[in-house]
A and B are shown apart, each in its own frame.
Chain A
Amino acid sequence: MRFAVGGALRRDFALYDCFDQPLRRSGRVLLRTGRDLVLLSDDSAPVSQKAEPGRGSLPAIAPGAVCDALTGLSPLRALMEHCAGRAETISVAVLDDMEKTCLRMQVITLSTRSGVATLVLMEPMRGYDRAHQRVVDALLDCEGASRGATGLWPVLLPGVQPYQSKPEVPITADEPAHGVAADLIRSSMSVFRQNEAGIIDDVDTEFLHDYRIGLRRIRSVLSLFRDVFPPEETEELQRAFSDLMAPTGRVRDLDVYLLGQSGFLALVPEALHPGLDLLFARMKTERDVAQRALARHLRSARYTARVAALEARLTDPEGLAPGPESERAALPYAQALIWKRYRKVCKLARRIDADTPDDDVHRLRIHCKKLRYLMEFFGPLFPKKKFRKILKPLKGLQDNLGLFNDYSVQQMELGRYLHPDNDAPVATDMAAAVGALLATLSRLQAGERTRVVASFAAFDNRAVRSVFEELFHQPEEARR
């Protein structure tokens, strides 16, 4: 065997994936070297196509082999550049004693500021499997070599873990409640901070969504972990996090409307679609303005300083003062909280009938949400299978209550578009469409309202009750 080495081709390169790295998780790597896009896979041959110029650092992916192979990606997530640098490609042919090519390889050296990786792309030739295997074996014997494309990640981006929007925080039964709360807060803190850059760059709508989930989880920990922190401290932190949340609401609301466009269109007769299109166009403009303001806010020195201070305080083990319940063991503490909340949900829900005021239904929704949060936070303490049994009907009830709430909020918000804004007259087409939409939403809301009793009944059955009882209800003497 002899190696014939061709000349080197030097180009720039970039590695793309969505933020949560679905390609990496499914054993794929999307690379661009110069104008060539290639999708590598741990278990099938690479595919390639030309990269078209796109938005910013991201190439447009026109229809083609790579486009076809980019399956299984969430429509809510966008690809983004994870790292970039220089690539040097050398073509190598493996020849036998007759100077016949038995194997072709491309040896691509990728260098970034944080690492250098050498990628060997094999192009096996029919009938020459033995030569291929020999070269693969020899290469795998080299120190640090690994098979598959995803091995690039740890080399090029050492320390970059796949992002998780809801990382599970391990809890032990006898760990003090204060420690659990602090861990949960730190974990959510890291989640929302990781999403800042993506919101600023407006990569996709999930960044803001996850940012808000992170903040909301922190606020829930602060409010639900009763007496674990001193009340003044809790109150102050609540205010701080609610201040962080405030500037994000408008963009998220508009994102939700814009993502749900086709659903809203389906709710009104086709003749009114042009009117809704006007509404969405207006929302899109509003959204982009609000997004830019939000990005400015997140980049501001004020925001950065505030978050840094919060982070420093919350990551410091001494940073959070202990409250009266801070030493309570996690398990009995969790059981008491969940049981109490469950009882509250049941008490409230059992009173609900057709004539109950909407405010009570909204209150039930809030309690269910809190119950759900508690169950999520303390989930690791309880047997998974039993947990799922009660989570499913709870989710069913929550979906019902959630829709009831969404329809009511949507009516309020969309109704605002019927009023002239800055003296600009409201287009008649749009007004007619919004009017029709409001009527449908009101009908849908009424429909959800009538289902509440039934969905609670599905939750409030003997099987669910007995699991709640078994998992969370402690005998009298165990309680304080």
Chain B
Amino acid sequence: MHVIACYSNKGGVGKTATSVNLAHAIARSGRQVLLCDLDPQGASSYYFRVKPSKRLSETRFFEDSDRFADAIRASDFAGLDILPANRSFRDFDRFLSRIRSKRSRLSKALVAGGAEYDVVVLDCPPNFSLLSENVFRAADRIVVPVPPSTLSERTFEQLVEFFKDQGLPRRKISAFFSMVEGRKSLHRDTMARMRAAYPKRFLAASIPYSADVERMGLRRAPVAEYAPRSKAAACYADLFAELAL
């Protein structure tokens, strides 16, 4: 089982858009995927039309493996299941620590039709600093959307510093430029500068700023479903390919 966290210590950078389209692309490649919507706002659940379950808003949710498994919903797409949004993360910490242990009741409950999920995608909420470190440890990959702006540059620097300070493996970080507007010289310059500063941390693939992605809220489906020939869909496919999962 491969755990991928879509993470940024900034909000509105495209974590949810990435989680949704990436999970969809992975499932389409024939793998069993579980997308965990960790954002209490339930944005990725919403994109898949899955209601946040009321029963799940109670505390201690992540401690109870059976209830955790009961909460999983099939999406409309083959091989892709959703763990809908939940309001409490008190036990998420424990969830993260248990997800990797083969013998824990949690990982036994985490099965799709008898087999373990191939990939678990975590759509992380903003202001997640408290638990960040555990996410970094539990995940095999940390996919970080970075809009090419000065502020993002600063945030990304902090993230890399944090990894350094904590002795976390920086190679887990797979950053990519998100919401790129190629006509803006500010974007082009920032990207060039950051690629030079972090030659190994940035993927070649990037996601443009696109009305097709914005329409996700209206269509409530992954981009590749309603705009399969769009630039954005192609870029998400490139991103998936480059992650080489």
Residues of A within 8 A of B (CB): 96, 98-101, 125-128
Give the residue name and chain of the B residue nearest to A93 (CB): B76
Provide the bound-state CA to CA distance between A125 and B51, in Å.
15
Q: Does B72 contact A (CB under 8 A)?
A: yes
Are A126 and B76 in touch, CB under 8 angstroms? Answer: no
Contact partners of A100 in chain B: CB under 8 A: 48-51, 76
Q: Does B73 contact A (CB under 8 A)?
A: yes
Q: Among A96, A101, A126, which residue has its beta carbon within 8 angstroms of that of B81? A: A126
Are A126 and B49 in touch, CB under 8 angstroms? Answer: no
Identify which of A100, A101, A128 gathers the most chain B CB atoms within 10 Å of its CB.
A100
Q: Does B70 contact A (CB under 8 A)?
A: yes
Contact partners of A98 in chain B: CB under 8 A: 49-51, 220
Q: Does B112 contact A (CB under 8 A)?
A: yes
Contact partners of A125 in chain B: CB under 8 A: 73-74
Provide the bound-state CA to CA distance between A96 and B220, in Å.
14
Are A128 and B49 in touch, CB under 8 angstroms? Answer: no
Contact partners of B81 in chain A: CB under 8 A: 126-127
The minimal Cβ–Cβ distance linking B221 to chain A, given in whole angstroms, is 10
Provide the bound-state CA to CA distance between A14 and B174, in Å.
53
Are A127 and B76 in touch, CB under 8 angstroms? Answer: no
Are A127 and B72 in touch, CB under 8 angstroms? Answer: yes
The minimal Cβ–Cβ distance linking B219 to chain A, given in whole angstroms, is 11
Provide the bound-state CA to CA distance between A448 and B81, in Å.
66
Contact partners of B71 in chain A: CB under 8 A: 127
Contact partners of A99 in chain B: CB under 8 A: 49, 220
Are B70 and A127 in touch, CB under 8 angstroms? Answer: yes
Pair count A-B, CB < 8 A: 29
Provide the bound-state CA to CA distance between A98 and B220, in Å.
10
Residues of B within 8 A of A (CB): 48-51, 70-74, 76, 81, 112, 220
CB pairs A–B below 8 angstroms (22 shown) = A96-B49, A96-B51, A98-B49, A98-B50, A98-B51, A99-B49, A99-B220, A100-B49, A100-B50, A100-B51, A101-B76, A125-B73, A125-B74, A126-B73, A126-B74, A126-B81, A126-B112, A127-B71, A127-B72, A127-B73, A127-B74, A128-B74
Provide the bound-state CA to CA distance between A122 and B49, in Å.
21
Beyond the given A98-B220, A100-B48, A100-B49, could you list 6 further A-B residue pairs with CB under 8 A, ordered by the A residue number?
Answer: A98-B49, A100-B51, A100-B76, A126-B73, A127-B70, A127-B81
Give the residue name and chain of the A residue nearest to B48 (CB): A100
The minimal Cβ–Cβ distance linking B217 to chain A, given in whole angstroms, is 13
Are A128 and B73 in touch, CB under 8 angstroms? Answer: yes
Give the residue name and chain of the B residue nearest to A104 (CB): B76
Contact partners of B220 in chain A: CB under 8 A: 98-99
The minimal Cβ–Cβ distance linking A128 to chain B, given in whole angstroms, is 7
What are the 4 closest A-B residue pairs judged by CB atoms, nearest first?
A127-B73, A100-B49, A125-B74, A126-B74
Identify which of B50, B72, B73, B74 gathers the most chain A CB atoms within 10 Å of its CB.
B74
Contact partners of A126 in chain B: CB under 8 A: 72-74, 81, 112
Provide the bound-state CA to CA distance between A135 and B71, in Å.
21
The minimal Cβ–Cβ distance linking B114 to chain A, given in whole angstroms, is 11
Give the residue name and chain of the A residue nearest to B53 (CB): A127
The minimal Cβ–Cβ distance linking A102 to chain B, given in whole angstroms, is 9
Provide the bound-state CA to CA distance between A168 and B93, in Å.
68
Give the residue name and chain of the B residue nearest to A101 (CB): B76
Provide the bound-state CA to CA distance between A126 and B112, in Å.
9
Contact partners of B76 in chain A: CB under 8 A: 100-101
Contact partners of B51 in chain A: CB under 8 A: 96, 98, 100
Contact partners of B72 in chain A: CB under 8 A: 126-127
Contact partners of A96 in chain B: CB under 8 A: 49, 51
Give the residue name and chain of the B residue nearest to A125 (CB): B74
Give the residue name and chain of the A residue nearest to B50 (CB): A100
Provide the bound-state CA to CA distance between A96 and B112, in Å.
23
Provide the bound-state CA to CA distance between A128 and B51, in Å.
11
The minimal Cβ–Cβ distance linking B184 to chain A, given in whole angstroms, is 37
Contact partners of B49 in chain A: CB under 8 A: 96, 98-100
Give the residue name and chain of the B residue nearest to A126 (CB): B74
The minimal Cβ–Cβ distance linking A3 to chain B, given in whole angstroms, is 15
Provide the bound-state CA to CA distance between A101 and B71, in Å.
16
The minimal Cβ–Cβ distance linking A131 to chain B, given in whole angstroms, is 11
Give the residue name and chain of the A residue nearest to B76 (CB): A101
Contact partners of B48 in chain A: CB under 8 A: 100
The minimal Cβ–Cβ distance linking B23 to chain A, given in whole angstroms, is 15
The minimal Cβ–Cβ distance linking A399 to chain B, given in whole angstroms, is 45
Provide the bound-state CA to CA distance between A125 and B112, in Å.
11
Provide the bound-state CA to CA distance between A99 and B46, in Å.
11
The minimal Cβ–Cβ distance linking B9 to chain A, given in whole angstroms, is 31
Provide the bound-state CA to CA distance between A101 and B49, in Å.
9
The minimal Cβ–Cβ distance linking B70 to chain A, given in whole angstroms, is 7
Provide the bound-state CA to CA distance between A218 and B45, in Å.
72
The minimal Cβ–Cβ distance linking A69 to chain B, given in whole angstroms, is 15
Provide the bound-state CA to CA distance between A232 and B75, in Å.
79
The minimal Cβ–Cβ distance linking A360 to chain B, given in whole angstroms, is 64
The minimal Cβ–Cβ distance linking A59 to chain B, given in whole angstroms, is 26
Identify which of B50, B76, B220 gathers the most chain A CB atoms within 10 Å of its CB.
B76
Contact partners of B74 in chain A: CB under 8 A: 125-128
Give the residue name and chain of the A residue nearest to B113 (CB): A126
Provide the bound-state CA to CA distance between A100 and B220, in Å.
10
Provide the bound-state CA to CA distance between A296 and B73, in Å.
62
Identify which of A96, A125, A126, A127 gathers the most chain B CB atoms within 10 Å of its CB.
A127
Provide the bound-state CA to CA distance between A96 and B81, in Å.
17
Provide the bound-state CA to CA distance between A96 and B71, in Å.
17
Provide the bound-state CA to CA distance between A139 and B237, in Å.
42
Provide the bound-state CA to CA distance between A100 and B84, in Å.
13
Provide the bound-state CA to CA distance between A126 and B81, in Å.
8
Contact partners of B73 in chain A: CB under 8 A: 125-128
Give the residue name and chain of the B residue nearest to A98 (CB): B49
Give the residue name and chain of the B residue nearest to A123 (CB): B74
Provide the bound-state CA to CA distance between A368 and B74, in Å.
66
Provide the bound-state CA to CA distance between A128 and B53, in Å.
12
The minimal Cβ–Cβ distance linking B6 to chain A, given in whole angstroms, is 22
Contact partners of A101 in chain B: CB under 8 A: 76
The minimal Cβ–Cβ distance linking B100 to chain A, given in whole angstroms, is 23
Give the residue name and chain of the A residue nearest to B81 (CB): A126
Give the residue name and chain of the B residue nearest to A99 (CB): B49
The minimal Cβ–Cβ distance linking B105 to chain A, given in whole angstroms, is 19
Provide the bound-state CA to CA distance between A101 and B70, in Å.
17
Provide the bound-state CA to CA distance between A361 and B76, in Å.
74
Contact partners of B112 in chain A: CB under 8 A: 126
Contact partners of A128 in chain B: CB under 8 A: 73-74
Provide the bound-state CA to CA distance between A128 and B75, in Å.
10
Give the residue name and chain of the A residue nearest to B70 (CB): A127
